[in-house]
């Protein structure tokens, strides 16, 4: 298994009447680009937002560290992604 980043685009009618394309990335474990594409299309959010795939990247190594996926039967089909919330808001301008 290899790790793929799947870059998906979609038009969300709830944002600006759906005129602008939004994007999101999914990580997918798959055997090939074709398999990654097929697996991404099974993701519930992909179906719900009627997404399309703009690009695929195989992630082979990062910062000199090779990616080595290992099956863990205790996880089933679950994903574990640890996020660090970071927020940079534009400075609120006060008119004088």
Using the structure block, give the residue that is written with the tokens 């298994």.
1
For every residue of 27-85, DSSP letters joined together read EEEESSHHHHHHHHTTSHHHHHTT-EEEEEEEE-EETTEE------GGGTT--------
CATH number of 2-74: 3.10.20
Report the range of poorest mean pLDDT among 15-19, 36-40, 73-77, 89-93. Answer: 89-93
The two most distant CA atoms of the chain are separated, in Å, by: 62
Domain ranges of the chain: 2-74
Going by DSSP bridges, is the β-strand pair 52-59/2-11 parallel, antiparallel, or unpaired? antiparallel
What's the mean per-residue pLDDT of the chain? 91
pLDDT at 96: 59
> What are the tens digits of pLDDT across the range 49-69?
999 999 999 999 999 999 999
- Residues 17-35, mean pLDDT to the nearest whole number: 94
């Amino acid at each position: 298994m290899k790790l793929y980043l799947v870059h998906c685009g979609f038009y969300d009618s709830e944002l600006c009447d759906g005129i602008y394309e939004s994007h999101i990335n999914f990580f997918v474990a798959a055997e090939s680009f074709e398999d990654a594409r097929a697996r991404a299309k099974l993701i519930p959010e992909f179906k719900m937002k009627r997404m399309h795939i703009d690009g695929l990247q195989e992630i082979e190594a990062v910062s000199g560290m090779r990616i080595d996926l290992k099956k863990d039967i205790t996880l089933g089909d679950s994903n574990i992604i640890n996020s660090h919330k970071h927020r940079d808001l534009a400075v609120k301008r006060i008119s004088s």
